[in-house]
Amino acid sequence: QKEVEQNSGPLSVPEGAIASLNCTYSDRGSQSFFWYRQYSGKSPELIMFIYSNGDKEDGRFTAQLNKASQYVSLLIRDSQPSDSATYLCAVTDPRTGGFKTIFGAGTRLFVKA
Amino acid sequence: GAVVSQHPSWVICKSGTSVKIECRSLDFQATTMFWYRQFPKQSLMLMATSNEGSKATYEQGVEKDKFLINHASLTLSTLTVTSAHPEDSSFYICSGVAGGGEKLFFGSGTQLSVL
């Protein structure tokens, strides 16, 4: 079982729709959770982080965390073509005291104009 | 957010040569720098962790004599790929962390192509 699992996609949504990206992780001890956006040929950029169960909203982005289900999601409202990218889910590795981060393989999102 | 400057952005070299990649934290002191490698359509794989003034810690399967890491100051870390071969062709990315934080600030990445 992979430590951080994501559907590779591609996930295709029309402009203006809500894009829902999902991620599961294997280690219950993980404490911190991140979503990074990576455009093709570029390095990742942090867009959201969440530490507690529930929802966290920042502009058009909402991160959701359910530690009991070991599940993290990212919602993108009013999706724009510029949101087309690969979204990486990342969790801190409790075996390293949270020092290291484990990345999922990413979900490719296409927003159609 | 914090800025990490990475150079070069891309490099093409002949097999057997060495390539140095530099990462500088511009507006914060990176006590730790992580070096990642990413193959096409795959996730980031951690290669090594460097802390200022000490030897780097390499992940299992990463050859420390091939991938030389130096973290001489709180603002500069370098990765040298020695005797590069075509299988070393990849996207290399550094990421700095300030003082025990968890958020990663990535450099812009270096696309290495070894002919």
| Mean pLDDT, chain B, integer | 91
Contact B106 A103 (CB under 8 A): no
Give B70-81 pLDDT, tens digit per residue.
888 888 999 999
Angle, CA B54 vertex, CA B77 and CA B49 arms, to 5°: 55
In Å, what is the CA distance from B65 to each residue of B38, B48, B80, B85, B113?
20, 12, 10, 14, 20
Contact B111 A104 (CB under 8 A): no
Q: Could you tell me if A84 and A107 are in contact, meaning their C-beta atoms sit under 8 angstroms apart?
A: no
Q: Could you tell me if B26 and B4 are in contact, meaning their C-beta atoms sit under 8 angstroms apart?
A: yes
pLDDT band, residue B99 (cuts 50/70/90):
low
Query: What mean pLDDT comes out for the span B24-40?
Result: 89
**pLDDT at residue A45, as a whole number:** 92
Q: Is the peptide bond before A10 cis (omega within 30 degrees of 0)?
A: yes
Contact B43 A101 (CB under 8 A): no
A71 CB-contact burial (10 Å; exposed 0-12 / middle 13-18 / buried 19+):
middle
**pLDDT exceeds 90 at position B108:** yes
Q: Is A95 on the interface with B (CB under 8 A)?
A: no
